[in-house]
Structure 1
Amino acid sequence: MSKRTKFTTISPLPPSITRAVVVEFLHNHQEMIDLNPLVKERHCIKPPSHATPEEFHCTWYSLTDRISYLPGGLANGDVTYTCAFHDLPNGIQTHCYAPAGLNIRDKWTLNGSLPGEPIEPVELGLGAPITGLYIREDVDMKCNIVMTNFVKKTLKKSHAALIERLKVKAQ
């Protein structure tokens, strides 16, 4: 039995990071992949047979993550999956197809305003900063109900680390 879960994460960025640097990073698929602490291997591939017509012209990768199933590294394993990358003017969309029916659609967008720019209206209820730039990550995932909490926790932790690595790299 699968469960669909949606969540949004807001990551404020330091004032020293420019809009151009963030968009360039989000559009650099290999760098974005390499900054994810879970990914241990990546290969650019042709669209797989399960690619939808809409995703056929995306950039595709085969990715292998190193996953820790139990605390303290007591049980680790590798998971290989395919992922489509599609650039947007202010971000990127990804769609990952993993084993056990795990399906993750992720949209990363750059939002907010820098000093001197008109203040961008902020969506209510997200905890987004009123001023400054931030990355908004919207996740829509579907997986086995038993795996949902583990996958969500692992995804949030690895993507938070990716954002922190971006902040360090960009300064």
Structure 2
Amino acid sequence: MSKRSLITNITPLPSSISRETAVAQLHDHHAMIELNPLVLRHKPTDPPPNATPDEAQLATWYLITDQIHYLPGGAVKGEVSYKACFYDLPLGIQTHVFAPAGVDIKSKWSVGGNVPGTEPREASELGVNKPRDGLYIKEELDLRCNLFVSNFVKKNLKKSHLVVVDKIIERA
């Protein structure tokens, strides 16, 4: 039994970070991978057989190994390896993770917003809590996985990706 979860995170950027700098951080695939606190190692790889033709031809593929804590406090931990692709967009990046146990994660990270005083404000969107002024990083996740591992995967994604965004801001 599969479950789909849509998750959106929006993080305002300090005014000292330009749009170009933020996009460059997102385009640095190795940094995006290494900033994730779960990642132990990664290396380039070939796409899996179930990648779409566009993903197989246009994206850059990595084999990534994470350390996962199965119980609170790290009493039981293990490693999980999976293939992920990265595809640069003009204002961000798309990723697609093919992980064990049928975990499928499509994400889009983008830089949105405006530079106050030099760019007009973005139009409001219903249900989207974004800053009225200033730049931000928006992460949109489409997670599909087994119902029984859904909460575990979501918890790990949310915790680790908050760290990734904080480290992107530190690096910029």
Q: TM-score under structure 1 normalisation?
A: 0.96
Tell me the alpha carbon deviations over residues 101-153 of structure 1, each in whole angstroms, 9 at most, x when there is no partner: 00000111110011221111132212111011111111101101011111111
- Could you tell me the percent identity over the aligned residues? 52
**Residue 138 of structure 1 corresponds to which residue in structure 2?**
140
Asked if structure 1 preserves the Cα contact closer than 8 Å seen for 2:47 and 2:83, the reply is no
Q: CA–CA distance in 2 between the matches of 1:73 and 1:124? A: 40
| Displacement after TM superposition at 1:69 (Å) | 1.1
**Residue 67 of structure 1 corresponds to which residue in structure 2?**
68
> Tell me, what secondary structure is at the counterpart of 2:43?
strand
**Residue 114 of structure 1 corresponds to which residue in structure 2?**
115
Unmatched runs of 5 consecutive residues or more in structure 1: none
Asked if structure 1 preserves the Cα contact closer than 8 Å seen for 2:42 and 2:62, the reply is yes
Q: CA–CA distance in 1 between the matches of 2:92 and 2:83? A: 20
> Tell me, what secondary structure is at the counterpart of 1:121?
coil
The answer as to 2:49 corresponding to 1:49 is yes
Structure 1 letter corresponding to 2:120: P
Q: 5 Å matches for 1:9-158?
A: 9-57=9-57, 58-116=59-117, 117-158=119-160
Tell me the alpha carbon deviations over residues 9-57 of structure 1, each in whole angstroms, 9 at most, x when there is no partner: 1111111111111110111101111111111110011223222112112
Q: TM-score under structure 2 normalisation?
A: 0.95
Asked if structure 1 preserves the Cα contact closer than 8 Å seen for 2:107 and 2:142, the reply is yes
Cα root mean square deviation, aligned: 0.9
Tell me the alpha carbon deviations over residues 145-168 of structure 1, each in whole angstroms, 9 at most, x when there is no partner: 011111111101100000111111
Q: CA–CA distance in 2 between the matches of 1:151 and 1:67? A: 10
Q: CA–CA distance in 1 between the matches of 2:113 and 2:66? A: 32
